[in-house]
Chains A and B, each alone.
Chain A
Amino acid sequence: MEELTNIRQAREGDPEAFRALFDGHRQQVFALAYRYLRNRTDAEDVLQETFIKAYNGLPGYDPAKGLNFAAWLNRICVNASIDAMRRSKVRETGPLGPEEAAAMSAPSHSSDPERSARSAEIREKIDQALARLTPTQRMVFTLRHYQEYTTREIAQALQSSEGSVKKHLFRAVGLLRKHLRKYVVEDGYDL
């Protein structure tokens, strides 16, 4: 398989082979980091850090142990993202970048200005509620809810047990319910 050849050659120090691995997996790694960090620059930093760590860790990576390369990269990305989140906790109240602000105010349901303002407000509240979770709770919720990982896959990514992943997930959902109760009730969201 081509990927295994690239892994072997990158391990020998071949930059072209490593570039091919980067090209093949950059989108998935960036999407995960961005979904979690909600900031393009931070996610780019994590993407870069993930591939540097991956390069240095290649000799210890053994596909025969059952973890495919994508899952292995995700594991590195998850840890780097959590660390980045801890580092950025203090500056999280700063203004949004232009892209985040645009994304925040983009109308999602209709062109009715009142509705889209309300929608932007709720989206901001959801972001704020997510920001109040601990970095690990937020990662568990992001992986389960947005990235559609199973709790088993999350445990693999966090090198943790399924039981502790579930505890983080229950706690995260409980806190989101608490922080967003007002909107859940007012907007009458239902199935």
Chain B
Amino acid sequence: MTCKKARELMVLDHYGEAGAEDKARFDEHLGKCPACAAERSETRRLFALIDAHAAEDAPTPDWEKVWRGVRTGIAGERPTRQPALAPWRRWPFAGPALALVLVAGILIGRFGLAPAPRPAVSAAAAPSNGGAPNGIRPAFAAYLEDLKPILLDYAHYVPGEKAEGRVVVDESALRTLMLQNVLLKRKLAEKDPAAADLLDDLDLILKEIVNRGPNDTNSPAEIRDLIEKRDVLFKMEILKKT
């Protein structure tokens, strides 16, 4: 047994999840390896420390307040017929349609390259003189909504996860998202530096996804780390609301 395997087993053994055969080999290894024996002793003491300082029990929440929030959230709705899958898991089926919608809907509608639908028209007619131009804001928010399922899927990635459960967004859709990014940045750069910074982060992530391709096994974890390191999901939530 290797020391690496022994270190893993000392955790599983603590929780009673080491199989009998593994446990026997683990005990044998400990008898011969002072480093692992010392580490096991330290691990046991860590758990004893944590258990001796367990946090207090949960307080009692305001159940009625929470229920009122639930009622408001579901008010007037019958449960909608949706797959039990989280939304981002449904994306693999949406590839070509998505690309089409993005190109047609966003480049034409949101960016005013053709007569735009209601919100963009009224907003564009009255440009604000401070903050981000209002006309581009709905497009920016919609862009973030489009990207979110992809980023969430990467953010939740754990190594060894089966590939078939993951988002597959075709390259042309990704390139469309990159193009939109450029257009948005051009409109937002001066008036809203925070949004422009976020777009830079998103551009970097999109490039990573496109350049690495679907067969690079390291890429999901590295992209996940990139998303986390730059706090992209948090910034998206904040900027979407402002």
A and B, one complex?
A: yes
A: which residues have CB within 8 A of B? 10-13, 15, 18-19, 22, 26, 30-31, 34-35, 38, 40, 43-44, 47-49, 51-52, 55-62, 79, 82-83, 86-87, 89-90, 99, 103-104, 106, 108-109, 119, 122-123, 126-127, 134, 136, 144-146, 150-151, 158-161, 163-170, 173-174, 176-177, 180-181, 183-184, 187-191
9 cross-chain pairs, A with B, having the tightest CB-CB distances, nearest first: A60-B84, A52-B73, A164-B158, A103-B56, A13-B78, A34-B58, A189-B48, A164-B160, A48-B69
B: which residues have CB within 8 A of A? 7-8, 11-12, 15, 17, 42-50, 52-56, 58-59, 61-63, 65-67, 69-71, 73-74, 77-86, 152, 155-156, 158-162, 165, 228, 231, 233-234, 237
Of A126, A158, A166, which is within 8 A of B12 by CB? A166
User: Are B70 and A48 closer than 8 Å at their CB atoms?
Assistant: yes
Min CB distance B119 to A, Å, is 25
Of A10, A90, A184, which is within 8 A of B45 by CB? A184
- Complex contacts, A177 vs chain B, CB 8 Å: 42-43, 46
Q: A47-B66, A52-B74, A161-B160 are in contact. Are A60 and B83 (CB under 8 A)?
A: yes
Q: A38-B55, A184-B46, A189-B45 are in contact. Are A56 and B82 (CB under 8 A)?
A: yes
Distance of A31 Cα from B80 Cα, bound (Å) = 28
Give 10 CB contacts A-B under 8 Å: A15-B74, A19-B67, A30-B61, A34-B58, A52-B73, A55-B74, A79-B86, A159-B165, A184-B46, A190-B48
Distance of A146 Cα from B66 Cα, bound (Å) = 24
Min CB distance B230 to A, Å, is 12
Of B42, B79, B231, which is within 8 A of A57 by CB? B79
Distance of A191 Cα from B52 Cα, bound (Å) = 11
User: Are B158 and A136 closer than 8 Å at their CB atoms?
Assistant: yes
Chain B residue at minimal CB-CB distance from A50: B70
- Complex contacts, A173 vs chain B, CB 8 Å: 11, 43, 46
- Complex contacts, A146 vs chain B, CB 8 Å: 54
Q: A163-B160, A164-B160 are in contact. Are A180 and B49 (CB under 8 A)?
A: yes
User: Are A176 and B159 closer than 8 Å at their CB atoms?
Assistant: no
